[in-house]
Structure 1
Amino acid sequence: MCGIAGYFNSNIQFETEMDKHRDVVGKMGEVIAHRGPDADGVVVKKHCALAHRRLAVIDPEGGRQPMVKKVQDKDFVIVYNGELYNTDEVRDNLKKRGWFFETSSDTEVVLTAYIEYGEACVEHFNGIFGFAIWNPWTEGLFLCRDRFGIKPLFYMEQGDTFLFASEIKGILAYPSVSPVIDKKGLCEIFGVGPARSPGCGVFQGIKEIPPGYAMHIEKEKRDLYCYWSLTASEHTDSYEQTVEKTRYLLFDAIERQLVSDVPICTLLSGGIDSSIVSSVASSFLRKQGKVLDTYSFDYKDNSKYFKASSFQPSEDRPYVDIMVDYIKSHHTYLECETPKLLNFLKNAVRAKDLPGMVDVDSSLFYFCREIKKNHTVCLSGECADEIFGGYPWFRDEEVYKKKAFPWSKNFDFRKEIIAPDILEMLPLEEYVQEQYDETMKRVSKLEEETALKKRQREISYLNTAWFMTTLLDRKDRMTMASGLEVRVPFADHRLVQYLYNVPWEFKYRNQVVKGLLRDAAKDVLPEEVLWRKKSPYPKTYDPAYEEMLKNTLRPILENKNAPLHQLIHHEAISRLMECRSDLGRPWFGQLMAQPQMYAYLFEINYWLEHYQIKIDL
């Protein structure tokens, strides 16, 4: 994948100070060089400067950027971060309309489609993307982000200057931008974090183009609009028809996403989701005489400490072994030592520009760095639980009754660690409830549906619009920090849209979690894997990890000069650390409990310190 950055001001003639603007935008691109280590480029036009860092996946020679296409002696320019999975179809349709192509890259297809179809070009795309196009006819910019926000795109307005970048650090590299966090940002960090409200960049003044949105920018015009969203419709297919269509859409998405001119692999945990992706990918590549490379993750000595629970019923390794034998892949077992989880927390913050999912992030950061030694493109089973109803809260009666985010129901836990005077200043509960209520307003429903059906839609939409987006955000930053592109076939918009209207009783067929998915994939998996109970992303069970976290956090609590010091309730946190952690008291989802809360506070302190953030209350 790639990284993009740039800025626009209709009141400035950029070409009169070409060197100055090339230097400024070049530095915005440099700070996201990890996203594209293969090549870089900048272009300065009348009212804009654009930078690109390239990770070459398709047409390494012909796909260089920024890409320019001349039409009627005018230069259209694109900086593009993404991958189209229907490039051939879009290109063929454009050829029928008289267009010629000089490269085989999807970048040229995206740019040409914009010139031909205008802003409606995105309706023709199946893929993941964040891009910006300079239009010489309107002397404006068009920015667009994919339907589920798999690729990031942040922006900021400073007076008449409009800034954008794939990552926040690209905007912070602009000379006059200072990192500031206000009450809203603190509500994000302590109220909804590590998730983010749609469109929010946490830093004061920094926003993000939400998933499924585009932006049209000209002189005195800033038009942000939604071009795609999940829509409700009556589901008329029988269960058998639903199984068949689900299978077709999923398998087609997997095969489409195997296109690459560089080495490709899959993540294989031994769970049903990654196993389906790996099995279909292996069969597809075998027809070409190739053997699939697969990777699994675990932690050193985890078997020694592992204890089965309803949350984590089994270890991954036995099921990985079964799948490797079944699909005959070339497999690599990756292990992370416990101290590295702690050491890489800082790397994870720098990769994301924000506090995140702590050891879930730092472990993925480490694992991806290892994968990158041999591969550039990887397929993952992410997003299946959100669209097929795999998480426990899909079946939790309390979630159906309580109007709140199901992955962080215990709000008292969040409040008790904040300094009382800060808590009085922050409208924390009101802010979080407002984000929830605003989300509910966007849920597409059918009037004739029962209250239960409508609530099931709401829970489905919450998981897609919030939890799935959080995991995709994490996946992009931790993988791209090493220049590794990870694709997510379960997030194909055709599949997600279809499943949004599939009734819950089909997804939970015979009260089997993800029963529909299991029936759709029953001939590509061995029985042991097909009926395996859900087991989440692996975590360490080494008790030493929590002690390491406490020992790291204590000096910060005692240091009055630490940035975190003014924000937290030291006595409350100290009392928590004196007792054995309550692992059943989640901070966020299934993977962040009390130990991860300690890590989250450590990340907040490091974030404030490293970015030299001013707190504006």
Structure 2
Amino acid sequence: MCGIAGFVNFKKNLIDKKSIIEDMTNTLIKRGPNEKGYYISKNALLGHRRLIVVDPKGGSQPMIKIHNGKKYIIVYNGELYNTEDIRKELLEAGYEFSSYSDTEVLLTSYIHWKEDCVNHINGIFAFAIYSETDKKIFLARDPLGVKPLFYTIKNNNLIFGSEIKTLLANPLVEPILTKEGLTEIFALGPARNLGSGVLKDIHEIPPANFIEFTEHKFKLHEYWRLSCKPHTENASETAEHIKFLLTDAIKRQLYADVPVCTFLSGGLDSSIISAVAASEFKKHGKTLNTYSIDYKDNNLYFKNDNFVITPDSVWAEKMRKFIGSNHHKIINNNLDLASALYDAVKANDIPGMADIDSSLFLFCKGVAEKNVVSLSGERAIQMITNLVKQFINIGEL
């Protein structure tokens, strides 16, 4: 996980505003604890905080590339799963690479395909590319909205970042709560409508959308939309198709130059992910580390009901034995959960699911002590929610 920040104005000189982009980027330290970088120019200030996962030396950002006399700069948060496929295609088109990072592949794909690059890449991403020669900035977000990207426009200024607090670090942006924002927090789960940043004039680029911003134009464009098509496969073919798609997606996320683990609650999502990951690890003579959360004295006070029949630990242990992982438990107590509520809300930028958020916050904090990358099924419900919202928007439901 990395973080990006930007401050752009094509009608005003921003060269003396470096301290502002530094303040904005500093809000992202926990997203990117390993490196920081800035790009300072007359019309665009870009900031980046990096969590190193791939290519420690060659993946630093902001990354600059010059092609046919034109200068392009990228700040990027995410991961491409078809990096080598795209690299091969671009090499055949005559491009050269100085690193093996997906950042350079993404930047080069924009140079080659411009805004259509989003239809060639496969991954989770939020990025900004500044075409200094053309005086244009391009921002894009992945199709399912896994990676966040917020923005606001104030007096010809485009201000953007990976978190709401990043925008609020710019003195032009005020934290004004609106009736609509409160309604979203209290009435939707809590959750946010697609594109909403809850606070006044703060927006989130919706999933599967990109922005083009120049001196004379602002364009928000949807580049992909879920569609309904006839299902022509039988049950056996459907099962094999789903198996391929799921295992392929998991395998593509295991590529890293740093320790990789998985969450394992014993539920369906985490069990499938951990089983596939463990199998891949074994092929390379390695053992997967898995993690689950538990609570002090949970075995004494747990009561089953029609929704939760057994503690997670029962099924996590069964899966641990089945896949042969090195399993670790992170134990929390009620005092820890209560004390972590503030930090959980601060990390999320808005109120969330209270004890669930603080529990997940403490769990991730514990996992991060020995790992950099972890695969989980935690976003599954959010992805389904986003897809349902897209259906609603196009009148399919």
Q: TM-score range by the shorter chain?
A: over 0.9
Shift of 1:243: 0.4
CA distance in 2, matches of 1:437, 1:257: 26
Distance 1:52 1:437 in 2: 31
Distance apart, 1:192 and its partner CA = 1.8
Pick 1 or 2: higher relative contact order, CA cutoff 8 A, min separation 6.
1
2:313 partner amino acid: R
Q: Distance in 2 between matches of 1:174 and 1:64?
A: 24
Q: Which runs of 5+ in 2 are unaligned?
A: none
1:441 Cα deviation from its structure 2 partner: 3.7
**Aligned equivalent of 2:394:** 442
1:13 aligns with 2:9: no
Paired residue for 1:240?
236
Cα distance in 1, alignment partners of residues 149 and 361 from structure 2: 21
Deviations 1:527-559, CA, capped at 9 Å, x for gaps: xxxxxxxxxxxxxxxxxxxxxxxxxxxxxxxxx
Aligned to 2:128: 132
Distance across 2 between alignment mates of 1:198 and 1:387: 12
Aligned ranges for residues 155-554 of structure 1 at < 5 Å?
Answer: 155-382=151-378, 440-444=392-396, 458=397
Alpha carbons of structure 1 residues 100 and 353: separation in structure 2 relative to 1, 3 Å: same
Q: Secondary structure of 2:186's partner?
A: helix
The structural deviation recorded for 1:381 is 2.2
CA contact (8 A) 1:22 1:49 kept: yes
Q: Read off the aligned partner of 1:440 and give its amino acid letter.
A: I
Aligned residue identity for 2:157: T
2:18 is aligned with 1:41: no
Residue identity opposite 1:287 in structure 2:
K
The equivalent residue for 1:548 is none
Please, what is the CA RMSD of the aligned residues?
1.7
Q: Quote the residue 1:423 is aligned against.
A: none
Structure 1 CA distance, aligned partners of 2:58 and 2:222? 32
CA contact (8 A) 1:5 1:164 kept: yes
Give distance in 1, aligned partners of 2:395 and 2:242.
Answer: 22
| Residue of structure 1 equivalent to 2:3 | 3
Counterpart for residue 26 of structure 1:
22
Counterpart residue identity of residue 382, structure 1? E
Query: In 2, Cα distance between the equivalents of 1:322 and 1:153?
Result: 39
SS at match of 1:189: helix
Question: Are 1:266 and 1:379, in contact at CA under 8 Å, matched by a contact in 2?
Answer: yes
How far off its partner does 1:157 sit?
0.8
**How far is the alpha carbon of 1:353 from its aligned partner?**
1.3
Residues in 2 aligned to 1:168 and 1:329: alpha-carbon distance in whole angstroms: 38
1-structure distance, mates of 2:383, 2:324: 29
Deviations 1:577-596 (A, max 9, x none): xxxxxxxxxxxxxxxxxxxx
Q: Which whole-Å CA distance do the structure 1 matches of 2:382 and 2:244 have between them?
A: 19
For 2:332, give the aligned amino acid.
C
Q: Does the 8 Å CA contact 1:38/1:53 hold for their aligned counterparts? A: yes
2:9–2:44 Cα contact (<8 Å) kept: yes
Query: 1:187 & 1:385 partners in 2: Cα distance?
Result: 21
Residues 41-68 of structure 1 show CA distances to partners (whole Å, capped at 9, x for unaligned) of: 1002331100000000010111000000
Task: Answer yes or no: is the 8 Å Cα contact 2:226–2:391 preserved in 1.
Answer: no
Check 1:278–1:385 CA distance in 2 against 1; reply closer, same or farther (3 A cut): same
Q: CA deviation at 1:74?
A: 2.6
**Structure 1 residue 75 and structure 2 residue 71: aligned?**
yes
The structure having more radius of gyration, on CA atoms, is 1
Aligned length: 395
Distance 1:330 1:117, change over 3 A: same
Code of the aligned partner of 1:326 = F
Residues 269/193 of structure 1: CA separation in 2 closer, same or farther (3 Å cut): closer
Cα deviation code 1:358-402 (max 9, x no counterpart): 1111111101111111000001123556889xxxxxxxxxxxxxx
Rounded to whole Å, the distance in 2 between the matches of 1:10 and 1:190 is 38
Per-residue CA deviations over 1:102-132 (Å, capped at 9, x if unaligned) read 0000000000000000100011111111000
Q: Deviations over 1:212-256 (max 9, x none)?
A: 111110113110011111111000000110001000110111111
The answer to whether 1:123 aligns with 2:119 is yes
* Secondary structure, aligned partner of 1:249: helix
Q: What's the CA shift for 1:324? A: 1.1
Moved more, 165-174 or 352-361: 352-361
Deviation for aligned residue 1:299? 1.0
Is the CA contact 2:287–2:325 (under 8 Å) kept in the aligned structure 1? yes
Which segment is superposed worse, 134-143 or 188-197? 188-197
- Equivalent pair of 2:34/2:51 in contact (CA under 8 Å): yes
Question: Is 1:93 paired with 2:84?
Answer: no
2:392 aligned partner, one-letter code: M
Cα separation, 2, equivalents of 1:29 and 1:159: 21
Letter in 1 for 2:42: K
Higher strand share: 2
Identity %: 45
Summarize the Cα distance change of 1:438–1:57 in structure 2 as closer, same or farther, 3 Å threshold: closer
- Flag the structure with higher helix content: 1
**Alpha-carbon spacing, 1:374–1:150, altered in 2? closer, same or farther (3 Å):** same
CA distance in 1, matches of 2:382, 2:159: 33
Does structure 2 retain, via aligned residues, the 8 Å contact 1:294–1:330?
yes
Distance between the aligned counterparts of 2:45 and 2:389, measured in 1?
A: 39
**Aligned-partner Cα distance in 2 for 1:360–1:33:** 24
The letter for the 1-side match of 2:330 is L
CA distance in 2, matches of 1:163, 1:61: 29
What is the TM-score when the length of structure 1 is the normalising length?
0.62
- The runs of 5 or more residues in structure 1 that have no matched partner are 389-404, 406-435, 445-457, 459-617
Contact 1:154/1:207 (CA < 8 Å) preserved in 2? Answer: yes
> TM-score normalized by structure 2?
0.96
User: Following TM superposition, by how much is the alpha carbon of 1:294 offset from its aligned partner in structure 2, in angstroms?
Assistant: 0.3
Measured after TM superposition, the shift of residue 440 of structure 1 is 2.3
